[in-house]
Structure 1
């Protein structure tokens, strides 16, 4: 029987089970703080769960490496608890962004994440992460940390400069993911399962064992996820898209005394995927390009899209003849130790990242299907195990009330090595038909086998980075606080690129030109494919090594001044700097001056306010500006002349170019509790990164060649430098319906992205449009949330909006003209499903 909600609103009484359900939504609500380096930021959940039912309660965050109230920390962070992750059926890290406007985590293709925070974009293979992902306090590569999400204690989206207290000197922010710690006193665990449309299944669980109660415990967790990935299918291939992820984790917790704690974790992840690059457009015109007659038709219009009039973005289609493949096999190890001694705290963090699978990927080179009947595959593999390790040693004061100052000093070191080979296929004259006649897009397998060579690009990467840092907080009279930090960095990233080409044959001339026979003395032989054609042997070769061995020693800083006006208002101002190095443009055969970008420098300014409006509302806001000198900006899809094969190609996601830029933005959050069982959270973010002028790579200008390897154009001041929408907003809510023996619930998440009309680097005609995605959840939960049965609908209105677009240049066979297609990404499709969960003991 339902209890009268209005009556309970008047008399102020409520069941504890309803309180827990309501406060669980407050946890994912945006919560402002800074950075977390404590290994166990769980207090936010516990504190909120004990709060009175008619108030929002206090959110505790381990922000500045100490437990503090959210409203007392003078920087910005958004918190998503493990409980909220389960309630909103979040099984992929990319879904966290729905609760954190201004943050974008996209996995349009497996193994290739992209992140945006405060207008700053980072993609895989583009150097030091601009938005680091800290997994149990260790800054692993995002591609290793953003593949699955299970048994998580808390996620924090940190905004603003992080470099003086963490390993990576980021300027826009970072994301921390903390796994669940073992419970020292009580056995427990959980099991959950999710079934969704489009063949999506997810199973995960954990079990907790106190080996020595109160002293030592072990937790074992695991997850299996099977889906169709981005759901893009090919009109030419029968194989369906597939994404399978297996992961297991063992965590140990050891606390022999009240002053010593050691937490260790080992995680293994295996992932395999078959996927296609989504395309949109009208397809090829079917007309030859110069030097052939441009009015002459070689195929019907739209021949590369199966004769359709066009492919629309909402159709989620590809034209590849074979799928791309991606493989991951990763081991992660973390150790977090803390010792309180003599009124100080000594902390040590250690991490290992190891990629153990030799083969890494296989990607189609002919994503626009210019050549019919053949799909060139670019393969990548590691010559040996890719390895990375981290060490951090920190000494800090043991925070206590009444102290005049607190401090942190520390040392951080990161080392990495990898040797990756990329096998790039290249066709030679004769591969696309008799070169002394008209070329044919329908491939003859015998011709491809003969007129073909492979360029093996071997990229040796090393990272040797260490730094010393210190932070000081002064607790001044009149509720002022002044904090300052500095980090001295020693950064060395020696790298080298070697290119070796295999041998092959190229059609060189007509036998009739040599009197009817091919002169062997000139190195020519008769073609076994084309009668009357002479072939020349192309020997294997090597290109001189390109290398970079610079050492950088920058210094960065962060200063913040804040003041409390009574218990409910905090005002703060922060200024900080950053420095970030890039990596060579992997698999882009460019001259040295374009292959190795110079490091970027940035300065951030921020003003913020935090207010508590009674116990039923919170309002926090900030405005900020980031000034970049030489920002590492991605320019994908730019035509250039390859130095290894002497042909035209287009840059991939790893090509970066330095551009002076500025970001200006604002953020705001309002959390209200109008009813005992209803919590609403409103968030908005505006952040736009704009060019400050100068020259940038472009596809306008004379034909690229050895003497003109790439074209450059003026970058208009004020033009946008990434495709992410400047304005984003979200609203989410949770309504609990108490019943006699169990509770019902209704939840929703609405996320909005505005337009980005000023972006057009890789596709001049692309303009990002606004979109709104709504997720709905409903179900029943048992006493103390011990069981849960629910249904959900993500993207309930099946919104289909174009997010990114990159023109697919015809570099594989330029004689067949423009492809008429762009590689695109769209909003995730609708998913309807059922979720079941059972928990016992310590959970």
Structure 2
């Protein structure tokens, strides 16, 4: 396959003497939710999934599309809500800090230090989930691209990409909107935009604002007496400049300021973690109680500034385009690491300050309008950097030898340890790419693309550990460091991957098109930070994947109905996985076999994996004014005999965390500081099947148009080996009813979200949260046990009202 990709790159470059595919930032002439000229047919949808403006039905890949109009009509104000429109997509935030995207069963943890499995693009500029999840307003379109991304965009991703495109300034007329929404769950969302031609046809300005307040996961901290909340304010200014008929540039600047206080919910009986300490971790709770018990706050602040520039110059037979951007983000995270209150009265504080800068530029030349052969070539450059400083308390607790009981925190019999960690990273990427499209006949088209990149990565980490000591145990104070925790030989790397893909499309007739596509993706490994300096546990090798997809796209009954379907297979060589909260035996690293769990860490690992699946979408108009769309996906994404760090307290080679934390090495094998478990389990904690559906019925009533609409998503239950938990099925139904004025100039909508009020567990930790102790007689002591498991639970039922004015 590598030879094929290299040949595609050289072929496209060699034939370079003729002109882009089409404008890189083309718009949808009418949003995917806008009425078609004929109200009885399905409206055409134009996407830029292939970096060119093409009909969705002509694109040889699986793509889900949500227009800005659709997002407004369904009152979807959080990017995470987009998963209700895209089966197999999971957008989550389990602890308030880490936003993650899972697609086609392929998961990612932002803390693993690698590039994501699903990449994000803001106006075609690479961005990150932490910023993109935070605010969603004044958007033209969101596209969910499924499958490996390794050719047409600047960064490679094995599962797919999500592109967000903001509305551009209108050069010819004054346009805009104002929208207000409020709910009985204390959520208020206010947003609006106005576009004004400063010099008609030449220069225009668009300004938009957002103010959003909500209570996030609706969790109340019964220990502190407060609750989760989110406050977000954002503003955006866009300039459009078209001095001539063949040139246009769009400059967009966005400023975002978000403040989230998000507590993690607990379920369980609670406990008295120490026999001689009357304080409990908290009261008994189930998923309906929606309580947290931590002693400290969990506060996250995000200040992000993004500047993007896109420009296109029509050269006649060619189009020269540029896309570039600058992102400056500062994340301020302050939390209590004792989330389940295993040690009542103690705040295990952590402060993490993360400034991140990212600069991107891509220059692209493409042919246009040629009958047999069109091509493009591009040069992409990206530079990212950021140093994160972490201040964290990591005390060592002790327990009696007999009875094996932890000393109460109030006794002061623990060794206070403070960690000062600075983690830094720099990445430079320079890539060249080329694509070619060959129209062999009116029905048969071949497209090939390849990208050759040079990736220079530098990772470094400096750690200082201090302690005041513990005189009662004759332990003096100490200071260790600053120490470099990453060997430069491991942290400094240069990679030169070749990625890309090819597709063959056959148009049987104007209504039926079939395609076959191949894609290769790549992600660089990493030298993990914040983990013990054991090379086999901190260094991961690069991940590569190859995927094949077969699909068909159809239109039926004079375009009143469309049906698209695809099947795919993807194979991973060294998938980059991650396990969290793994107990570590420091003595085993030095050759001792005591099995004592000394600390907990998060570890990355490589494991072979395989993904197989089928996806389908059916949409159409059942009658005038009645439209519907339904999509479903079945994906089996699992490891293939992968060995990864795990918690295995009983030594049976299977994940478990019941009882006293221990580390086991099977007899006859070299000693290891962590337990390892073989797995053929699912990669992500998501079900294999998922379905979404939405429908609207509207009718005329004088000058008004009353309507009802619904949005439904379904995910079956499944058993999680990793979490030792049976997840229940989820049937999420949102209902809407309202009325809009002539030509859609205004709309008033009443709605109910999660009508069934199921409140299902969507994430749960393995076993009850514990804090390990060391026995005064040596060995492992009885742990502090909170009696709780940490969970995420779907939001309760919510009633609301929204009003929109368009002009």
Question: Taking structure 2 as the reference length, what is the TM-score of the superposition?
Answer: 0.89
Q: 1:691 aligns with which of 630, 633, 639?
A: 639
The answer to whether the 8 Å contact 2:406/2:784 transfers is no
Following TM superposition, by how much is the alpha carbon of 1:82 offset from its aligned partner in structure 2, in angstroms?
0.5
Q: Is the 8 A contact 2:260 2:301 kept in 1?
A: yes
Change beyond 3 A, Cα 1:800–1:576: same
How many Å separate the matches in 2 of 1:206 and 1:833? 22
CA distance in 1, matches of 2:612, 2:404: 57
Number of residue pairs matched by the alignment: 751
Per-residue CA deviation, residues 208-236 of structure 1 (Å, 9 max, x unaligned), is 12111001101110101111111112221
2:190 pairs with 169, 184, 203, which one? 203
Contact 1:742 1:781 in 2 (8 A): yes
Distance in 1 between the 2:549 and 2:597 partners?
47
User: Cα deviation per residue 1:395-445 (whole Å; 9 max; x = unaligned)?
Assistant: 1112x2x61011111111111111111112022468x9999996443436x
- In 1, Cα distance between the equivalents of 2:102 and 2:578? 12
SS in 2 for 1:811: strand
* Matched-pair contact (CA < 8 Å) for 2:330–2:353: no
Aligned to 1:260: 247
Alignment match, 2:293: 319
Partner of 2:698: 736
Matches within 5 A, 1:397-546: 397-398=367-368, 400=369, 403-428=371-396, 439-443=406-410, 447=412, 451-477=415-441, 479-507=443-471, 509=473, 534=474, 536-546=476-486
Aligned-partner Cα distance in 2 for 1:435–1:248: 62
Q: Distance in 2 between the 1:167 and 1:642 partners?
A: 41
Structure 2 residue matching 1:111: 3-state secondary structure:
coil
Q: Does 1:671 align with 2:619?
A: yes
1:394 aligned onto 2:353 = no
2:175–2:196 Cα contact (<8 Å) kept: yes
Greater Cα shift, 569-578 or 102-111: 102-111
1:142-157 correspondence runs (5 A)? 142-157=129-144
Query: Would you say the 8 A contact 2:36–2:42 is kept in 1?
Result: no
Partner Cα separation in structure 1 for residue 160 and residue 30 of structure 2 = 20
Are 2:214 and 1:227 aligned? yes
Q: Name which of structure 1's ranges 105-114 and 410-419 shifts more when overlaid on structure 2.
A: 105-114
SS class of match (1:43): coil
Q: Does 1:568 align with 2:511?
A: yes
2:366 pairs with 1:353: no
Preserved contact between residue 461 and residue 493 of structure 1 (Cα < 8 Å) = yes
Q: Please state how far the C-alpha of 1:632 moved relative to its aligned partner.
A: 0.9
1:753 aligned onto 2:740: no
Hey, what does 2:610 align to over in structure 1?
662
2:213 matched to 1:236? no
Query: Secondary structure, in 3 states, of the residue corresponding to 1:662?
Result: strand
2:547–2:569 contact (8 Å) kept in structure 1 = yes
Q: 1:376 aligns with which of 344, 348, 354?
A: 348
Match of 1:827 among 791, 794, 798: 794
Alignment map for 1:608-687 (pairs within 5 Å): 608-614=551-557, 615-641=559-585, 648-652=598-602, 655-687=603-635
- Paired residues of 1:429 and 1:435 also in contact (CA < 8 A): no
Determine the C-alpha separation between the residues in 2 that align with 1:666 and 1:95.
23
**1:451 Cα shift?**
4.6
Matches within 5 A, 1:300-311: 303-306=280-283, 308=284, 311=285
3-state DSSP of counterpart to 2:117:
coil
For 1:145 and 1:153, locate their aligned partners in 2 and report how far apart those are by CA, in whole Å: 15
SS at 1:550 equivalent: strand
Aligned 8 A contact 1:612 1:619 in 2: yes
Residues 433, 442 of structure 1: alpha-carbon distance in 2 compared, 3 angstrom cutoff? farther
Q: Which residue number in structure 2 is paired with residue 555 of structure 1?
A: 498
User: How much has 1:332 moved relative to structure 2?
Assistant: 0.5
> 2:778: which partner in 1?
none
Following superposition, the deviation at residue 103 of structure 1 comes to 1.0
Distance in 2, matches of 1:107 and 1:699, equals 23
Aligned to 2:5: none
Residue-by-residue CA offset, 1:50-105 (whole Å, 9 max, x unaligned): 42011113223234233222222221111100011110001100111101111111
* Cα distance in structure 2, aligned partners of 1:154 and 1:574: 25
Offset of residue 786 of structure 1: 1.2
Give the distance between the partners of 2:213 and 2:393, measured in 1 at CA: 32
State the Cα distance separating 1:604 from its structure 2 match.
0.4
Equivalent residues in 2 for 1:326-337, closer than 5 Å: 326-337=300-311
Q: Which of the residues 364, 370, 377 maps onto 2:336?
A: 364
* 1:727–1:755 CA contact under 8 A, matched in 2: no
Name 2:657's counterpart in structure 1. none
Segments of 5+ residues of structure 1 without an aligned counterpart are 1-34, 289-296, 510-533
Describe the shift of the 1:433–1:225 C-alpha distance in structure 2 as closer, same or farther (beyond 3 A).
Answer: farther
Match of 1:21 in 2: none
d(CA) in 1 for partners of 2:44, 2:348: 58
Residue deviations 1:634-677, cap 9 Å, x none? Answer: 21232224799x9733334xx42111000100000111211101
Number of the residue aligned with 1:8? none
- SS for the counterpart of 2:447 is strand
Give me the whole-angstrom Cα distance separating, in 1, the residues matched to 2:572 and 2:239.
Answer: 43
Equivalences for 1:118-157 in 2 at 5 Å?
A: 118-126=104-112, 127-157=114-144
Matches of 1:125 and 1:426, distance apart in 2: 19
The reply on whether 1:784 has 2:743 as its aligned counterpart is yes
1:810 corresponds in structure 2 to 770
Give the superposition deviation at 1:498: 1.4
Structure 2 CA distance for partners of 1:642 and 1:834, relative to 1, 3 Å = farther
- Alignment correspondent of 1:177: 164
RMSD between aligned residues? 2.6
User: Distance between the aligned counterparts of 1:734 and 1:586, measured in 2?
Assistant: 50
Matched, 1:838 2:778: no
Contact 1:630–1:658, Cα closer than 8 Å, also in 2 = yes
Match in the other structure for 1:10: none
Cα offset, 1:535, TM superposition:
5.2
Q: Counterpart of 1:5? A: none
In the alignment, which residue of structure 1 is the partner of 2:38? 52
Aligned to 2:233: 246
Contact 2:452-2:497 within 8 A present in 1 as well: yes
CA distance in 2, matches of 1:96, 1:730: 11
Label 1:367 to 1:740 Cα distance change in 2 as closer, same or farther (>3 A).
same
SS for the counterpart of 2:537 is helix
What is the CA–CA distance in structure 2 between the aligned matches of 1:313 and 1:639, rounded to whole Å? 27
- For residues 561-603 of structure 1, give each alpha carbon's deviation from its aligned partner in whole angstroms, at most 9, with x where no partner exists: 1100011100111111111124443433452322232111100
Contact 1:372–1:443, Cα closer than 8 Å, also in 2 = no
The verdict on how the C-alpha distance between 1:835 and 1:108 changes in structure 2, with shifts beyond 3 A counting, is farther
CA separation of 1:425/1:434 partners in 2, compared to 1, >3 Å: closer, same or farther?
A: farther
CA distance in 1, matches of 2:395, 2:52: 60
Q: What's the counterpart of residue 774 of structure 1?
A: 733
Kept in 1: contact 2:526–2:541 (CA 8 A): no
Contact (CA 8 Å) 1:616, 1:672: kept in 2 or not?
yes
2: CA distance between counterparts of 1:778 and 1:178? 28
Counterparts of 1:325 and 1:473 in 2: how far apart (Å)? 50
- The 1:583/1:608 distance shift into structure 2, 3 A limit, reads same
Per-residue deviation, 1:37: 7.8
Cα deviation, 1:162-201, whole Å, max 9, x if unaligned, reads 2111011123211110000001111232211111122111
Residue in 2 aligned with 1:517? none
Q: Distance in 1 between matches of 2:135 and 2:290?
A: 23
- Separation of aligned partners in 2, 1:375 and 1:47: 50
Max Rg structure? 1
1:329–1:386 Cα change, 3 Å: same
